[in-house]
Amino acid sequence: MTYELFDRLKLAGHAGLVLHSSGTTGETKIVLHDWNLLVKDALSRRYPHNKNKVVLAMLGMDHIGGVNTLLFCLANQCRIVFPKARTPKSVCAAIEEYEVNILPTTPSFLRMLLSSEAYLNHKMSSLHVISYGTEAMPIELLTRLREVFHWVSFKQMYGTTEIGILRTQSEPGNSVRMKIGGNTRVVDGMLEVKTETSMLGYLNAPSPYTEDGWYKTGDKVDVEGEFYTIQGRESDFINVGGEKVNPLRVESVIMKMPGVLDCVAYGVTNPILGQVVGIRVQCKETMTRPVLQRMVKLLCRPHLSRQEMPIHIERTEYSLLNARGKKVRKTEFVEVSNDNL
């Protein structure tokens, strides 16, 4: 199969692009793209109002989002700026120094930016657009972002390593719903896509396409008319006694607690229920673990069901994001006894 994919590139006289994807199972997969088709798509998005804009390269070039930023800048003759580090302080400093107009990033980084308040120490008025993607955006986070950066337009992006970055249209107002370009359909609550920018295939895994050529994204979605709401990756949902728990819902409740800077929910192995909910919380130094545990149990009960209640509670003062600015949802931490349920 690998040789067949390369043969297709050779016959077309096209260049290829190889990227790595964790996929929906957490196993690293090697993706082969037709580079010429990615460039063609980028050139079709050349608009006069984007010319000469300054764009901050927040996403790495080993990520489809970073590749998309690079192609966007080349197609629209934009200036591209690389921050010294992918931290709120460095990003804000780069925005001020280079008068950055467009910031492509992730919801997790934007939450960290708000928590750090680094934006208060730098001039941010040059920002025109903040585009976000790679993971679901909680509505309460978007609401807060619109309050703080009230002069900025927020645009939701959608794509995966396998299909590239698709055209989107965010619903007007304070909404996380969007239209997604290309051919889309929803099967059993899961989004499937057909697009010209889809990869040729995996170099180390079987084809992920359906028999009729649709790519299964692994994203659970709600549909309202022409608009989609991304609920998150199916692989991130926590299976508690047969009930699927959305980690984003648990995190949204924890984030309302005083002293909490960020949190990530994940599945913990349980011999009876299969999994229970674990929560790792980044909090202020003054909050001890016993205090955190009492707060979580007390404040979550009115808002979460029994299955959604965090059983394993961890405290950390360190960032919960990986090098790509996304939360890491590990499922192999510790086993929890039913005595804690």
User: What is the per-residue pLDDT across 110-139, written as a single tens digit (0 to 9) for each?
Assistant: 988 998 899 999 999 999 999 998 888 888
Is the domain of 101 the same as that of 146? Answer: yes
pLDDT at 325: 65
* Backbone angles phi and psi of 140, in degrees to 5: -70, -30
- Percentage of residues in the chain having pLDDT higher than 90: 49
pLDDT category at 330 given cuts 50, 70, 90 is low
Is the domain of 116 the same as that of 201? Answer: yes
Q: Enter the tokens of residue 132.
A: 């976000």
pLDDT at residue 9 tops 90: yes
Which domain, by its residues, includes 308? 237-340
Is the domain of 100 the same as that of 52? Answer: yes
pLDDT at residue 254 tops 50: yes
Total domain count for the chain? 2
pLDDT at 147: 94
Is the domain of 122 the same as that of 136? Answer: yes
The CATH code of the domain that includes 12 is 3.40.50.12780
Is the domain of 261 the same as that of 329? Answer: yes
Start-to-end CA distance of the chain, whole Å, equals: 48
Is the domain of 210 the same as that of 65? Answer: yes
pLDDT at residue 339 tops 50: no
The mean per-residue pLDDT over the stretch 255-267 comes to 87
pTM of the model: 0.81
Is the domain of 154 the same as that of 257? Answer: no
The mean per-residue pLDDT over the stretch 70-84 comes to 94
Q: Enter the tokens of residue 115.
A: 């928590």
- Domain stops at, among 195, 213, 233: 233
Is the domain of 168 the same as that of 250? Answer: no
Lowest mean pLDDT among 51-60, 80-89, 228-237: 228-237
pLDDT at residue 296 tops 80: yes
- Domain stops at, among 199, 233, 267: 233
The CATH code of the domain that includes 249 is 3.30.300.30
Q: What mean pLDDT value characterizes the chain?
A: 87
Is the domain of 51 the same as that of 188? Answer: yes
pLDDT category at 340 given cuts 50, 70, 90 is very low
The mean per-residue pLDDT over the stretch 202-206 comes to 89
Is the domain of 184 the same as that of 332? Answer: no
pLDDT at residue 320 tops 90: no
CA of residue 214 relative to chain centroid, distance:
22
Is the domain of 225 the same as that of 276? Answer: no
Could you count the other beta carbons within 10 Å of the beta carbon of residue 177? Answer: 21
> How do residues 10-60 score in pLDDT, each as one tens digit?
999 999 999 988 654 457 889 999 999 999 999 998 888 888 899 999 888
Is the domain of 170 the same as that of 318? Answer: no
- Domain stops at, among 211, 233, 255: 233
pLDDT at residue 284 tops 70: yes
